Amino acid sequence: MKTGVYPGTFDPITLGHMDIIRRGAKLVDRLVIGVTTNPAKSPMFSVEERLAMVRREIDGIAGEIDVVTFDSLLMDFAEREGAALIVRGLRAVADFEYEYQMAGMNQQLNDRIETVFLMADVSLQPIASRLVKEIALYGGDIGKFVTPAVAADVARRVGEIGRKGT
């Protein structure tokens, strides 16, 4: 059984993430979505909230898909999950430069696990969780970038923390 890992913060999960999950699930027998923390990012949602959000959003996608949290080096997590590959989504050239460097570092850590890059659908390429949060915090409509349920989650959180610019 071939296992792949798709890691990310998913804060929040976007239509771009969903595209990569659907396509990545077709490449492996089992896809593990690893929801992680990133010290360089300020999450809007807790890890538990993001786990629940991702699980809700992937319901109905074909294939064996597990959603788990991890707080370790990606290659250690992938090894624990028995992964043969890491699935990464690319939106633009800037993504490629960063992901290429990370893939090289990961290969140095564990050369038994390959990194596979999937180009985001053209209509989804500009979507980034960071920008979705920023738009929402300034009162903008994020409906083109996330599902209605995620938009409602974000609106609730923005209501709790307060909107910027008011």
Quote the CA–CA distance of 60 and 68 in Å, as a whole number: 17
pLDDT at position 166, please? Answer: 54
Q: Which of 55, 56, 91, 157 is catalytic?
A: 91
Q: Who's near 117: CB < 8 A, 6+ residues apart? A: 88, 89, 90, 96, 99, 103
Quote the CA–CA distance of 2 and 33 in Å, as a whole number: 14
Pairing of the two strands 30-36 and 64-70 = parallel
Q: Which of 41, 144, 163, 164 is catalytic?
A: 41
Please indicate whether residue 112 is annotated as part of the active site.
Answer: no
Domains of the chain are 3-122 (3.40.50.620)
Whether this prediction's pTM lies above 0.75 is answered by: yes
Please indicate whether residue 123 is annotated as part of the active site.
Answer: no
E strand residue ranges, the chain:
3-8, 30-36, 64-70, 85-90, 114-119
Q: Which of 17, 50, 88, 133 is catalytic?
A: 17
Please indicate whether residue 91 is annotated as part of the active site.
Answer: yes
Query: Residues of the chain whose pLDDT is less than 50?
Result: none
Please indicate whether residue 41 is annotated as part of the active site.
Answer: yes
